[in-house]
Amino acid sequence: MKIKSAIFECSAPDLGSCPPETFPEVAFIGRSNVGKSSLLNALAGKKGLARVSDIPGYTKLINFFVINRTWRLVDLPGYGFAQVARENKAKFNEAVNDYLLNRPNLAGVFVLIDSQQTPQKIDLEFVHWFGGQSIPLVLVFTKTDKVRPEQVQQNINLFKEHLAEWFEAMPEIFKCSSVTGRGLPELLAVIEAMLESS
Ligand code: GDP
């Protein structure tokens, strides 16, 4: 699949403010600074898709983009966002949880994980929690151009060891780089498959 058009539709502070459930949706989530905006822009093949996420305030909202006039790419707020006050943090987490658990047109979720780091508690917790749902979950290890391939593989293996304790079937795992373009065609193929089976 190629992304031919990507149009920002709206930002929502909670599930009730999300756009109508007319299109299937594919959501992206990860810790702040994991490389989500870079990846979304690289996937869309043009700069500026996730631009809205850079505007202060928008980082806490759920951002919707209509792709190829047929599906929505959903940019979820980064979990563990450090700069928000405690009440705000609880609020956006609640909105994200609510969206992930109660959005009937959600076709799949991509969790972005920094390949430079050993498994982080918050990533593991998120995958553990969401992995129990019936919606397809894909793990994307980002910034693989920044560390040695053996290091990337070692961090992935450590992550998988944790997952093996919780899941019989491992989620799909991809190694990506927004700088080199590694893994991006594979991600687009997975999105296509998700949309077909949704
Ligand atoms: P976000 O907070 O998750 O949206 O992260 P950004 O996309 O803003 O990226 C955070 C930082 O990591 C920026 O300085 C990016 O230039 C850098 N970055 C993101 N993806 C990659 C990548 O694939 N390779 C490298 N080398 N740097 C990246």
What lies within 8 Å, CB to CB, of 98 at 6+ separation is 14, 15
CA of 145 to the centre of ligand 1 (A): 11
112 part of a folded domain: yes
Pairing of strands 25-30, 71-75: parallel
Mean pLDDT of 79-83: 52
Choose the residue to mutate in 38, 79, 143 for probing ligand 1, maximizing ligand atoms within 8 Å of C-beta.
38
Q: Which residue's entry shows tokens 């450590």? A: 158
CA of 49 to the centre of ligand 1 (A): 14
| CA distances, 11 to each of 26, 124, 142, 195 (Å) | 15, 27, 25, 22
CA of 133 to the centre of ligand 1 (A): 28
Instruction: Please give the mean pLDDT across all residues of the chain.
Output: 88
Q: Is residue 57's pLDDT more than 70?
A: no
Confirm if 67 and 154 have CB atoms less than 8 A apart. Answer: no
CATH of the domain at 47: 3.40.50.300
CA of 104 to the centre of ligand 1 (A): 31
Q: Is residue 178's pLDDT more than 70?
A: yes
What lies within 8 Å, CB to CB, of 163 at 6+ separation is 127, 131, 170, 171
Mean pLDDT of 46-51: 61
* Mean pLDDT lowest among 41-50, 64-73, 152-161, 166-175: 41-50
| CA distances, 182 to each of 13, 60, 101, 185, 198 (Å) | 33, 28, 31, 8, 26
pTM here?
Answer: 0.92
- In the chain the beta strands, taken as DSSP E runs, fall at 6-12, 25-30, 62-67, 71-75, 106-114, 137-142, 172-175
For atom 27 of ligand 1, the residue with the nearest CA is 143
Atom of ligand 1 nearest to the CA of 146: 26
CA of 165 to the centre of ligand 1 (A): 30
116 part of a folded domain: yes
Atom of ligand 1 nearest to the CA of 112: 3
> For ligand 1, which residues put their CB under 6 angstroms from it?
30, 32-38, 142-143, 145-146, 177-179
What pLDDT digit, counting tens, does each position of 134-158 carry? 899 999 999 999 999 999 999 999 9
Provide the pLDDT confidence category of residue 84 given band limits of 50, 70 and 90: very low
* Domain of residue 75, residue span: 6-197
Confirm if 5 and 68 have CB atoms less than 8 A apart. Answer: yes
193 part of a folded domain: yes
The number of domains in the chain is 1
Q: Which pair of structure tokens corresponds to residue 45?
A: 């093949």
Mean pLDDT of 77-87: 57
CA of 177 to the centre of ligand 1 (A): 9
Q: Cα–Cα distance between 194 and 155 in angstroms, integer?
A: 26
Q: What is the DSSP letter of 151?
A: H
1 part of a folded domain: no
